[in-house]
């Protein structure tokens, strides 16, 4: 069974991406490889629980950038959210060891007893690498952090339960294809697999049409809190 199509908000139908990527001018035109990579992101087939929207990318990390933000939604609740940024430097980048780089932030709220597990940061990092490997994606120079922060409420907020948020920040260099662009659609789908795992959703069924297995060999969180109260 093919994976369900997630919601991808699209507010431009014609010249897509020109107002959502890093500045494109006569002296800084959008390279064809970057344009193909952005179009592939926009065509990704995602789980129905995922809502994705283009967002303003950072302006100084690379000559060209494109970004999306996403949330795992269950009814009116956001179970996890994050942002994925695609960077491109046609001249290459020594630290990336390539011309493309993916940078991500993923956040979710956990039950305090789950956050007490000392192995949780290592497990969360393995979810990222496992999601990429489950889809057969080549990548290099992966780096990142897993941070847990706890909050206890007092005074007028004393009726709230203690909350623990986990935050995954990571970046990696996707392997480029023959046309010079990486398979960004598959990388986005793998990133959404990570979001769903952090949200505690069960793995999605295999997608024979895409030749991938979503969530293979990974374990989701057994219990999840709802979204944070404002």
Percent of the chain residues topping a pLDDT of 70: 74
Both tokens of 22, joined, read: 């890093």
pLDDT band at 95 (very low <50, low <70, confident <90, very high): very high
Cα 50 to Cα 8, 100, 204, distances in angstroms:
8, 24, 12
The pLDDT value given to residue 28: 66
User: Residue 58 in contact with residue 65, Cβ under 8 Å?
Assistant: yes
CA-CA-CA-CA dihedral for 137, 44, 166, 113, to nearest 10: -90
Residues 177-213: pLDDT tens digits? 878 899 999 999 999 999 999 888 887 765 433 333 3
Which of 15-29, 60-74, 106-120 is predicted most confidently? 60-74
Q: What three-state secondary structure class fits 38?
A: helix
């Amino acid at each position: 069974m093919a994976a369900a199509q997630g919601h991808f908000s699209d507010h431009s139908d014609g010249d897509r991406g020109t107002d959502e990527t890093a500045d494109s001018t006569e002296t800084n035109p959008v390279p064809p490889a970057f344009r193909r990579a952005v179009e592939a992101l926009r065509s990704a087939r995602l789980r129905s629980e995922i809502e994705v929207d283009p967002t303003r990318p950072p302006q100084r990390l690379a000559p060209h950038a494109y970004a999306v933000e996403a949330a795992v939604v269950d009814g009116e609740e956001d179970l996890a959210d994050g942002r994925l940024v695609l960077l491109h430097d046609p001249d290459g980048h020594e630290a990336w060891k390539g011309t493309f780089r993916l940078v991500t932030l993923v956040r979710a709220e956990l039950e305090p007893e789950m956050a007490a597990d000392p192995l949780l940061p290592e497990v969360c990092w393995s979810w990222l690498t496992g999601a990429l490997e489950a889809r057969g994606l080549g990548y290099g120079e992966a780096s990142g952090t897993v941070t847990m922060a706890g909050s206890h409420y007092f005074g007028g907020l004393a009726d709230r339960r203690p909350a623990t948020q986990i935050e995954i920040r990571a970046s990696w260099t996707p392997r480029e294809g023959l046309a010079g662009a990486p398979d960004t659609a598959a990388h986005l789908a793998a990133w959404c697999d990570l979001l769903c795992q952090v949200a505690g959703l069960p793995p999605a069924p295999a997608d024979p049409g895409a030749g991938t297995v979503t969530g293979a060999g990974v374990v989701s969180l057994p219990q999840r809190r709802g979204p944070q109260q404002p």
